[in-house]
Chain A
Amino acid sequence: MTDALRCAAGEWVEVEWVLLEPEERSANLPEDTASQPLLTWVKGFALSAADVGEEVTVETMTRRYVTGRLSAVNPGYFHTFGQPTPELTHVGADLRVRVAAYRAGGE
C-alpha cells in the first residue's frame, strides 16, 4: 500500500466523503447497514497539495470536480490469488484418472 501522507498538485489521488449520515439513509435497511454512514470514494488528479485527511478537490477522468478528504495518494491494487485451496488441489489428478479409466473401459 502506498504510504505517502501528502500529495502534490497534479498527483493521482483518492478522496472520500460521507454521502449519507446514518439518519439520512433509506428506510427498510437492515440494522447493521442503517447504523453506518454511506461512504464514497473517487479518484482523480489533485488540484492542490494536501495532507491525507485534509479536504482537497480532484479532477476526475470525466473532468468532474469532486471535493473530499484525501484518503490515498496514487492508490494501488493489491488483490491477489493467494495460496491454492487444499480442498481443491487433488481435483485435477483425481478427475484425469477417472476420465482415463472410463475411456479404457471401452466406452
Chain B
Amino acid sequence: MRRALGMDYDEFERSPVAFDYEAMMAAHGYSFEDIVTIQAAGGVGGTPLLELRNLTDLVRSYSEPGFGARIFVKDEAANMAGSFKDRRASVSIHVAKEKGYAGVIAATSGNYGAAVASQAARAGLGCIICQEAFDSRHVGQPEIIEKSRICEAFGAEVVQMTVGPELFSYMLELLDETGYFSASLYSSFGVSGIETLGAEIAGEMLERTGAFPTAVVITHAGGGNTTGTARGLKRAGATSTQIVSASVDLSGLHMASDADFNRKSFTTGHTGFGVPFATWPDRADVPRNAARSLRYMDRYLTVTQGEVFYVTEAMCKLEGLERGPSGNTAMTAALSLARDLPRDATVVVQETEYTGAGKHHWAQLNFAREQGVEVRAGDPRESKPGTSIVIPEKPEQIRATDFDLAHMRRSYVRNALSHAGEGYVPTTDDVEFLAEDTNSTPVEVEAILAALKEA
C-alpha cells in the first residue's frame, strides 16, 4: 500500500486521534504554482466563469423586494474529460509519471474515472478503473454505464462489478499485481489539485465584481470538492466567503444494498456519501483522508432529486447550459440560497460537468420509472428517495434544507473516539485537533466529549 501511494502516512500521526493535516498536505512537495503549471500542461483548469443573468432574474421574480443574489457558475465541464475531477486526476497522474510507475488504478464509478483515464492516456500510462456498475440482475445505472464507456473510450481497462464494498479489496489486489500507483480520490495529490479551482473563483470574482463571492456552493460527496475548493478560496484571500456544501437527499437508501442500487437517480453528490464521509473521513482508501469537509463547511444544504431535475431543465432553457447531473445539485441549493440573500450579494456554483446519454436528466427519469419509482409533479417535500421523485410545478417550491452541522460534529467526534480504541482519553492536543477538524472550538469539543461520556 505504501508503495502504491508513494508516501508514508505514519510520520504525520500525533496520537490515536490527531495527525498533522497541513504537514500531510504539504508532503508531496508541489507548490500551488507547480500545480497550476502541471494542470495547464494537462489541459486542465482556466474554465469560464459565467454569470447566469436569466436564472438570477427568475429568482428575483419571486424573492422579497431587495433580495435575489447574483448567480455565477464555473463551467468545469470545459475541462479535458468534462468535469472538475480533471484537476484532481492531473496531479496524481503527474506524480505517477514522475516517480516512474507504469500505470494508475482508481476505484470510482464517477467522473473521476474519466479524468484519470484521460490524463493517463496523455501521459502514456496504463489505467485500471474499478466501478460498482450493476445490480445482481446485471442492470446498470445508466449514468455509470456512460462512465464505463468514457473510461474505455480513453483506453482504460474498466473492471465492472456488482454492488458491494469488496471492490476496494479487489483494487488492492490489483495494485499488488500490477505495481501501479494508487490514484486515490482522497490523496493529498488529488485534493491539492482542486485548490486551483477555489483560487480561480476568488480571483475572477474579485476582477468581475470587485469583491470575493458572498457564498460558494459545492456539491458534496466524499468531501474532496468542498475541501479543495475551500482551501483554494482561503489561499487566495477569500476568507470570509461562506462555504456551502450541498447534496441530494437520499436518506433511507442503503448504499451497499443491491435492491436500492438502481432506485436512486444520483450516483454521487448525495447524502449517502456526503454524511458518512463528513462524519468519518478516514473511511477512505488511504490511511488519512486529505478530504476533510467538516473542517471547511459553514452550511450543509440538502435538496431533493426532483428539484435538481427541474433546475437542470431550467439551466438548459434559460441559460443554454446543458450540464449535469452532479454540479446541478449545488445549482439547486444556490437558487434557494440566492433567494434569501440581498441583490448585491453573489453566489458561485463552483462546477458543472458534462452530460449526455445515460447522465441526462431525461435518461435518469426514464430509468427511475422503469425501476418502479413514481415520478410526478407536485411539492418536492413529498418525495421519498427510492419510492418517489416529485418534480416542482414552480420555482418557488425549490427550498434547500439545512442539515444540522452540530449533529455532524458530534458524530465525527464519536467516530474519532471509537477508532482511537476502548478507554482512550483524548489529550489537549487531541481536543485542538478535533476542533480544527470540525470547524468548531476546543470548548465545543469538550462539551461533546462530556456529553458522550455521560451517554
Contacts and interface: CB of A to CB of B under 8 A. Distances in A.
Interface in B248-274: 254, 256-259
Contacts of B316: 92
B158 to A, nearest CB: 7
B162 A30 contact: no
A68 to B, nearest CB: 11
A interface bracket (residues with beta carbon within 8 Å of B): 35 or more
Contact of B357 (A20, A80, A88, A91): A80
B50 interface: no
A42 B157 CA distance: 7
A62 B103 contact: yes
A61 B157 contact: yes
B103 A43 contact: no
A95 B58 CA distance: 7
A52 to B, nearest CB: 14
A33 B61 CA distance: 48
B86 to A, nearest CB: 20
Nearest to B58: A99
Given A33-B258, A87-B375, A95 B318 contact: yes
Contact of B258 (A32, A79, A88, A107): A32
Nearest to A20: B166
A64 B361 contact: no
A92 B317 contact: yes
Interface stretch (B21-29, B144-152, B224-232): B144-152
Nearest to A92: B317
Which label, helix, strand, loop or mixed, suits the secondary structure of the A interface?
mixed
Interface string B346-379: 0000000000011011110111000000011100
Interface in B141-189: 142, 145-146, 148-149, 152, 155-166, 170, 177-178
B433 interface: no
A19 B365 CA distance: 32
A77 B152 CA distance: 11
Contacts of B256: 29-30, 33
Interface stretch (B89-97, B306-314, B411-419, B437-445): B306-314
B382 interface: no
A87 B318 contact: no
Nearest to B120: A62
A48 interface: no
Most chain-A CB neighbours within 10 Å: which of B146, B148, B317? B317
Contacts of A61: 126-127, 152, 155-157
Nearest to A36: B136
B132 to A, nearest CB: 10
B57 interface: yes
A27 to B, nearest CB: 11
B269 to A, nearest CB: 19
Contacts of B127: 61-62
B47 interface: no
A9 interface: no
B242 interface: no
A82 B142 CA distance: 11
A19 B159 CA distance: 11
A79 B157 contact: no
A29 B136 CA distance: 14
Among B148, B163, B177, which residue has the most Cβ atoms of chain A within 10 A?
Answer: B163
B152 A43 contact: yes
A55 B317 CA distance: 51
A62 B60 CA distance: 53
Contacts of A29: 164-165, 256
B357 A81 contact: yes
A74 interface: no
Given A40-B161, A95-B314, 20 more contacts: A29-B165, A33-B258, A36-B162, A39-B161, A40-B159, A40-B170, A41-B159, A41-B160, A42-B160, A43-B158, A61-B157, A62-B178, A79-B146, A80-B142, A81-B363, A85-B366, A87-B365, A87-B375, A87-B377, A95-B395
14 contacts: A20-B164, A29-B256, A32-B258, A33-B257, A40-B170, A41-B133, A61-B157, A62-B178, A87-B377, A92-B316, A92-B317, A95-B58, A99-B318, A102-B61
Interface of B: 54, 57-58, 60-61, 103, 126-128, 133-134, 136, 138, 140, 142, 145-146, 148-149, 152, 155-166, 170, 177-178, 254, 256-259, 309-310, 313-314, 316-318, 357-358, 360-363, 365-367, 375-377, 391, 394-395
Interface of A: 19-20, 25-26, 29-30, 32-33, 36-44, 60-64, 77, 79-85, 87-88, 91-96, 98-99, 101-103, 107
